[in-house]
Amino acid sequence: MRALIQLRPSSDLIAAVADPNVSVAASDVTGELPGFDLDQSFNPLSLPGPAGAAQAVAADSVVVRGEIADAELDATLARLGRSAAVVGVFSDPRIENNLTCGGDQAVGTGGDVQKLLHSGDLGTAGMDGRAVALAIVDTGINVARVQEVRGGQVNIDAARSWNPPGVTGTAGQFPVAHGSMCAYDVLLSAPQAVLLDIPVLQSKKQGGTQMDGLLSDALAGFAHLRTVLTDQPEASRALVVSNSWGSFSPDWDFPVGQPGNYSDNPSHPFNVIVGSLESAGADILFAAGNCGRDCPDGRCAYKERPIGGANSHPSVLSIGGVDTKGQRVGYSSQGPGRLADRKPDICAYTHFLGSKVFGDTEPDTGTSAACPVAAGLVAAIRTVYPASKVSPAQLRAVLQRTAAAQPGGYDYDYGYGVLDAAAVLADLKNTDVRA
């Protein structure tokens, strides 16, 4: 089984791993860990503990990746648990993008979505995403295809983009796939945003497909994004992170209640780094997933509460899906969430004819499309309201309270309601952003 080990080595080693100018081999950090097959290609990562983290999470620690033989899992976990240097052993589950099931025709177009998002009003207000860093954590972006379909320049920052270990390719030049759809969708309301290409779903493993990825690679990608964010001037800091992927099966994870579990465990290193990045000023959005009871994706293996792990993190916006008529799409995952009860947070638009990545008549679909649609609006807002003016938590609250709610208020189908861009603009302008 793939696993992550969180260690507390010497303070000198922790400092060396945290220094981007110092190269530290994984074996130098771990020493002898019997039963753990260390992945030397995965650079050790520094893991800070966010404010309010559980006492079990070290404030300064290091994470490495490797494998434990299934036949020796229990014995190895017990042995590692007795090591004074080991803080915890965690699952490194497979992650995949959120496509949809079913073949329903598109409902509306990208142009309709732009009207619903009041893109013209956003532009008039100076909210076009200009200079805002917007990370697409997915399969990689093909800029040429996105430009061909939408027209106009696509801004991509190769220097601040990042590839997982073993993934070759240049930012903006990956094959046309799911990530290109996400890039198209964020640009509907933030056409001048600066895209960062983070192709974690290009990670390869034995027997895997192009859409497979490892959570450890997402962990490394988020560590890179933490540096991207903190390198920005604090007064104008803005980073939006769009994630249209998740873990579909409990078979890919340690059992719930086991300390190494990911789906329900706020102390898992990836859930910790998500909270840390948000605390530093990043807006993080995750697709709620396509495991809705009406039309679940064939990979969905959770019998209930399919929104788990970081997709249900209290510090992220979990995005469900509605069509351009405002009706929930049947595959949009319903709450409650596993890390936070009230998930999804809100719904955004999906199942419209837009990027044509999957064919000229095939819609941008799934909560995979809804998530970047919402991320684009957040990036547009950040053009005028950086994190120093409106914290990520404050902006989440604005989006929640202005959403077009269902009768009765919050529910597990729509969350707080459907994204309402006009109401968001009015709230930001007239209330000076209430806490």
What element of type H or E holds 322? strand 317-322
Q: Which of 265, 194, 183 is nearest to 228 (CA)?
A: 194
Q: Whole-angstrom Cα distance, residue 345 to residue 416?
A: 6
Q: What pLDDT tens digit does each residue of the chain (435 aa) get? A: 889 999 988 888 888 888 888 889 999 888 888 899 999 989 999 887 655 444 444 458 999 999 999 899 989 999 998 888 899 999 988 887 776 656 788 899 999 999 999 999 999 999 999 999 999 999 999 999 999 999 889 999 999 999 998 899 999 999 999 999 999 999 999 999 999 999 999 876 544 444 467 899 999 999 999 999 999 999 999 999 999 999 988 988 999 999 999 999 999 999 999 999 999 999 999 999 999 998 888 888 998 999 999 999 999 999 999 999 999 999 999 999 999 999 999 999 999 999 998 889 999 999 999 999 999 999 999 999 999 999 999 999 999 999 998 888 899 999 999 999 999 999 998 765 544
Tell me, what DSSP letter sits at residue 263?
Answer: T
Q: Whole-angstrom Cα distance, residue 429 to residue 323?
A: 28
Q: Whole-angstrom Cα distance, residue 58 to residue 81?
A: 15
Q: How far is CA 376 from the centre of its chain?
A: 14
Q: Whole-angstrom Cα distance, residue 145 to residue 28?
A: 43
Q: Whole-angstrom Cα distance, residue 226 to residue 215?
A: 16
Is the previous residue joined to 344 through a cis bond, with omega within 30 degrees of 0? yes
- With contact defined as beta carbons under 8 Å apart, do 237 and 247 qualify? no
What the block records as the tokens of 33 is: 């860990």
Domains along the sequence of the chain with CATH: 2-91 (no CATH), 96-430 (3.40.50.200)
Q: How far is CA 139 from the centre of its chain?
A: 12
**pLDDT value of residue 326:** 94
Q: Whole-angstrom Cα distance, residue 404 to residue 418?
A: 5
Q: Whole-angstrom Cα distance, residue 381 to residue 379?
A: 5
Q: How far apart are the first and last CA of the chain?
A: 44
**pLDDT value of residue 376:** 98
What element of type H or E holds 6? strand 2-7
